[in-house]
Amino acid sequence: MARERTALVVDWKRAIVSDARLTAADRHVALTLAVHMDRDGGSCFPSIRRLAAECKRKPHTISASVEHLELTGYLQVDRAAKRNTHGWSNDVNQYRAQLPLGATAAVAPTAEKQLPLGTTEVHKTSTNGAARPNGRAAVCQTCGTGGGQHAADCETLP
């Protein structure tokens, strides 16, 4: 008995969640778009405003994630005209799921996490004073590097 072909959206979602090149926002937007698609990744038409409301994110974050998903090959976007003679148009973009080159049902294209040359990643909850109470990494007072990273010669490295 032959195994039934998996629907494109299922393969697409698996590839989305395993691709290290995508941010959490990219994944969130993609999986929210998948809610609107049929099994074959067919067209869906949610507006940026609707996606922002469903994802609880700002519209510019949604737009940036859609653009990144398009650049990485996960999304085909047919953009609607944004202005007409009477102001903003009611037209919305059309989105279609697609697997990028090199992606299979279970494995997405991989890319190593890239850090700036000469930096070392440090956990955000380190005890060296480089973390804020809200868990967001602050700028190191010794080397001046932020985002939970330190220069390779920083004295505060554990």
136 closest CA partner among 127, 128, 147, 144: 147
Question: 8-97 has which CATH code?
Answer: 1.10.10.10
The whole-model pTM stands at: 0.60
**pLDDT by position in tens, the chain (length 158):** 344 456 788 889 999 999 999 999 999 999 999 999 987 878 899 989 999 999 999 999 999 999 999 999 999 999 876 666 665 556 678 999 998 877 665 555 555 544 444 545 554 444 554 444 444 445 666 766 655 566 666 666 55
Residue spans per domain, the chain = 8-97, 115-158
Q: Which residues contact 1 (CB under 8 A, 6 or more apart)?
A: none
CA dist., res. 69 & res. 65, Å (int): 6
